[in-house]
Amino acid sequence: MNELKLSKRLETVVSFIPKGSRLADIGSDHAYLPCYAYLHGYIVAAIAGEVADGPFRSAEQQVIKTGLSDVISVRKGDGLAVIEPGEVDCITIAGMGGTLIANILEAGKCKLPGVQRLILQPNVGAHVVRTWLMDNGWELIAERILEEEGQIYEVLVAEKGEPHKPYRHLEVELLVGPFLRQERSDVFLKKWRKEIEHWKRIIAELEEKATTPEGMAKKAELERKIQLVEEVLR
């Protein structure tokens, strides 16, 4: 993979960047995404943020190699600490757990005024991201689910708006995604069938052990999730 050829996952993320955006790519790794987005005419400028030394240096080298140092600023820092308020209008955060993405957004809330779009790709825990968006006045406007090299990924796109608007059945749609539920793609069905099998295995393990109150609560929570998702899959 290089700046001219992204993974299907990152290409999907880029496809949601509004033309002419000033982008912040948080956890940019090698800065492939902002380089690609600039070279393909999506963005006019970008900040590539990285907290770890190795990826930060890789990103710097990539931007220099691609000749984009005047339009892509590589910055070292934690989450949204790398941007100033009003500096960007689109933020991408891809390839992390949903809880970490939600924590980054929560910690950097003061940097979000002026940001028009969030494009978030949690590897796991997309429901945590949906919940954060809803609790903070962001309306989910689009979702994609895709499979690449045996992994299933979800991409969530949000803008400031009416956070409850896409949801008709809140509990289950926070879990599976309101747009993804409507679409019911093969990848969506595959993901949730696998998830149900996984939950059933956990329940079986819990039933084998001496049940603590915590175990009982966990079992009840998983049984509820299975019931909700099985209704969606019918």
Tokens 């005419």 belong to: 41
Q: pLDDT value at position 151?
A: 97
Q: pLDDT value at position 212?
A: 86
Helix, strand, or coil (residue 93): strand
From CA 30, how far away is CA 14, in angstroms rounded?
A: 15
Q: Residues near 188 by Cβ (< 8 Å), separated by ≥ 6?
A: 145, 176, 180, 181
From CA 162, how far away is CA 90, in angstroms rounded?
A: 18
Q: How many helices (H) and strands (E) does the chain have?
A: 9, 7
Q: pLDDT value at position 3?
A: 53
Contact yes or no for 139/160 (Cβ under 8 A): yes
Helix, strand, or coil (residue 212): coil
How does pLDDT run along the chain (234 residues), one tens digit per residue?
A: 455 689 999 999 999 999 999 999 999 999 999 999 999 999 999 999 999 999 999 999 999 999 999 999 999 999 999 999 999 999 999 999 999 999 999 999 999 999 999 999 999 999 999 999 999 999 999 999 999 999 999 999 999 999 999 999 999 999 999 999 999 999 999 999 999 999 999 999 998 887 788 889 999 999 999 999 999 999
